[in-house]
Amino acid sequence: MLNIVLHEPEIPANTGNIGRTCVAANARLHLIEPLGFRLNEKNLKRAGMDYWKDLDVTTYIDFNDFMEKNPGAKIYMATTKAHKVYTDVQYEPDCYIMFGKESAGIPEEILVNHEEDCIRIPMLGDIRSLNLGNSVAIVLYEALRQNNFPGMNLEGHLHHLHWNV
């Protein structure tokens, strides 16, 4: 099972949307405090819709608490400062993919100790970053694709309706 880690997320709607994506992708969500909202906040639940109750979510006091409780975890860190593109790495089925807070990303003091595991999403020119929810979805679904979408529905079905043209 893949793991998404949000380091100090600030916007409840983003975290709610990411929670919904994690439920759809059968991924765990890890939240590193401080959070910019309360977990029971109405906006968080609204963005996560009725999926929040199905989410496997864990919170941590800080990054050190996260590292202590997940020893030996393979962590990829999404940052605009990375040398590698997110498609350049092979994601293990149980790896952790970490994203920083909306206003500042992952702190550089964390990144420098994990430089080889930093990944980036390519963007044009002076664009600072993508929306956090979009960034999570892009990288998470690449990791799922590389692992053959384990346990996921790979096929849909059209209802054979007769259309009047």
Point out the annotated binding site.
100, 121, 129
CA-CA-CA-CA torsion sign (112, 70, 28, 40):
negative
In the numeric block, which tokens belong to residue 32?
């590193």
Q: How far apart are the first and last CA of the chain?
A: 46
Helices vs. strands in the chain: H and E counts, helices first:
5, 7
User: Which residues participate in the annotated binding site for S-adenosyl-L-methionine?
Assistant: 100, 121, 129
Alpha-carbon distance 4 to 99, whole Å? 8
